[in-house]
Amino acid sequence: MSKTRTNKGEDELHTTIKAVVNNKLVSSNEFITLLSDSIMDVITKMYDKEIDVLKKQNDELTKVLRNQEHQIKTLVANQESCDRIRRSRNVIFYGVQESDNENCMDTILGIINNKLNIRLDLMSIDNCFRMKIPDRNNIKPIMTQFSTVSIKQLVYNKKKLLKGTGMVIREDLSPETLKLFKAAVEKIKKNGRLWSNNGNIYVKLNDKDIISKIKKLSDIETM
């Protein structure tokens, strides 16, 4: 095993031992050097053992931290998946004028039946309410949760029929997906078309015929 001593430490140890052995009437320099080396070897081995123990503890701690990191990533992924499933039946209606004592359910059913030409009844909608934060036109959007994903998709696929009415239908995107969507909007501006479907973001640039799916910020940067 290699010795990890410093010249200063060795000199101090040598001087100390020499002083001790001189008191015992032992003055051989070879004896003092041999004794110093023996003690340094013992100390070095002790430190090496301590270092080995610390390395093992560090390795074990690293394994624990990696395992916890993996568990956190899995938990976050599961949470995002659950959130996406929860939002999969939702759409948000923007630009629907507010009225006193309105019934949001009746309002949305009227738009769906009369504007989108889809025949739905009250059983098709589980929940419907005005959101707290108004849009840029100072109109509070209406969050609508349908009873099934298929009904939601049926309504969402007819959103183009609202063109010219001032009303817009958008999916209820998760915070992370919405952040990604806004970043994509800022990136392409008027150089393409951007939309979401089933919680996924798609883009088609004006100079390309390919429809691309945006999954992360780096996808936007390379557009």
pTM for this predicted structure: 0.65
- What's the pLDDT tens digit per position in 71-98? 887 777 777 778 888 899 999 999 999 9
Architecture of domain 89-172: 2-Layer Sandwich (3.30)
Task: Look at residue 14 in the predicted model and tell me its pLDDT.
Answer: 66
- What's the pLDDT tens digit per position in 199-215? 899 998 887 788 889 88
Q: How far does the chain reach from its first CA to its final CA, in angstroms?
A: 58
- What's the pLDDT tens digit per position in 17-45? 666 556 554 556 666 676 777 777 778 87
List beta partners, residue 90. 145
Task: Look at residue 3 in the predicted model and tell me its pLDDT.
Answer: 47
Task: Look at residue 5 in the predicted model and tell me its pLDDT.
Answer: 45
Enter the DSSP assignment of 161: G
Amino acid in position 69: E
User: Taking the domains of the chain in order of start, what are their residue ranges?
Assistant: 7-84, 89-172, 173-223
Task: Look at residue 8 in the predicted model and tell me its pLDDT.
Answer: 59
DSSP H helical ranges for 157-205: 175-188
Q: How many CA atoms lie within 13 A of 58 on its CB side?
A: 6
- What's the pLDDT tens digit per position in 50-76? 888 888 888 888 888 888 888 887 777
Task: Look at residue 196 in the predicted model and tell me its pLDDT.
Answer: 92
Amino acid in position 93: F
- What's the pLDDT tens digit per position in 140-176? 999 999 999 999 999 999 999 999 999 999 999 988 8
C-beta separation of 171 from 156 below 8 A: yes
At residue 128 the predicted structure's pLDDT band, cuts being 50, 70 and 90, is very high
